[in-house]
Amino acid sequence: MMFTPLTLPNGSTLPNRLAKAAMEENMADAGQLPGPALNRLYESWAQGGVGLIITGNVMIDGRAMTGPGGVVLEAGTPLAPFRQWAQAARRQGAQAWMQINHPGRQVMADMGGNAWAPSAVALDMGKHSKLFAQPVEMSTAQIEEVIARFAATAHAAEQAGFNGVQIHAAHGYLISQFLSPLTNRRTDDWGGSLANRARLLLAVVSAVRSRVSAGFSVSVKLNSADFQRGGFSEDDAKQVVLLLNELPVDLIELSGGSYESPAMQGRTADGRTLAREAYFLEFAKDLAAIARMPVMTTGGIARKAVAEQILASGVAVAGIATALAEVPDLPLQWRDGREPAALPPAVEWKDKTMASVAAMGLVKRRLRALGDGASKRRRYSPLWTVILGQLRTASLTRRYRAWRVTAAG
């Protein structure tokens, strides 16, 4: 079943049921554009045997970034670098989808960008909270601008040769912030009831679909839960899936968590214990039973038996992230009967926020190595990786701020 095709609601076909899920790379070239390093990275996955490749998040607004090395695609952005990126990802027959995103309040303070949010609720990261910008409650006009930007980026992605987009509505980014009662305290049409909190997501899906062709895939990444007390719940997720059932959505990916509760890394703020592998499988099975479109789940998948278990449960696509950073050709190895160990050692530090930073840093360091053409796996020091990452981020932040000045001029 793992290597059988999947036909999506729009009639397009994934060659198999394994997907490279999105990982933030922070590997943009100057001008916040994709370049040779990203092309080499995605070609390694294209050659590795997955049926679907979803990019790391691409920003719809260069004034609001999840990180200074992120890729930006807006109306007017030159498309030639994106065409090369799409070609690299599609070279062996996989579909390539661009994940499109707005970070909302999850913006670093030193980047000087817009921290637009449904409500002015700051991130609670303990002693690390000051690293993030103070969020500003969005006006109706700003909400409408964001909807238009998602649609414009999706249109540009199709023009560049991507097969689809994934609208990021998970992990505590802007659309996820609108969905959660913890971060959305509005009293207008965009807040209050779940129907109002989901209004932005539904409006973005509709706007995107109106700007792309029928054969271009439109998908959504949704939290199964925020894993924070009083936040977006599993029942909320079910209700949002029922709302999405009424729109032309080709796939829903189930994940979970946010910066405050990194369930996507296996840790939760509300004390719940997630499975050691396939973190969100139980939620995904429940949602797959009510979803009219195929469901994909990602989080902790690194073994063939686990991927098979997911697909046997009624979930249509198994999304693999960190394991494909470690072993880019993991699907081909599975098909050939090999079972390589595909996860780095866990970072067990007392400071859970810094442990999360180190874990993400190790993955990004591996991605950069693949982008440089170094396929051989190495074991990196988590501490040294954090230090190098901070130095690199500082350099990229200076470059980004200079680009912002040029773009504004």
Q: Is residue 1 part of a domain?
A: no
Q: Which domain holds residue 278?
A: 6-408
Residue 116 in 3-state DSSP?
Answer: strand
Q: Is residue 349 part of a domain?
A: yes
Structure tokens at 374: 């170094």
Half-sphere exposure of 152 (CA within 13 A, CB side): 15
Q: Is residue 16 part of a domain?
A: yes
Rounded to whole angstroms, the Cα distance separating 253 from 261 reads 19
Look-up: residue for tokens 């993955």? 363
Q: What is the CATH number of the domain that holds 91?
A: 3.20.20.70
Question: Band of the pLDDT at 379, cuts 50, 70, 90?
Answer: confident
Q: Is residue 353 part of a domain?
A: yes
Residues 74 and 152: beta-carbon distance below 8 Å: yes
- pTM of the predicted protein model: 0.94
Give the total number of structural domains in the chain: 1
Residue 218 in 3-state DSSP?
Answer: strand
* For the chain, percent of residues with pLDDT exceeding 70: 93
pLDDT for position 392: 95
pLDDT digits (tens, 9 = 90+) for 18-75: 999 999 999 999 999 999 999 999 999 999 999 999 999 999 999 999 999 999 999 9
Which H or E element spans position 180?
A: none
Nearest to 21 by CA among 297, 344, 261, 233: 297
Residues 296 and 20: beta-carbon distance below 8 Å: no
pLDDT digits (tens, 9 = 90+) for 230-267: 677 888 999 999 999 999 999 999 887 656 555 555 55
Q: Is residue 276 part of a domain?
A: yes
- 250-279 in b/e form (b: 16+ CB < 10 A) is bbbbbbbbbbbbbbbbbbbbeeeebeebbb
Lowest mean pLDDT among 72-81, 183-192, 272-281, 302-311: 272-281
Residue 283, C-beta contacts closer than 8 angstroms, at least 6 positions apart: 224, 225, 234, 237, 254, 256, 297
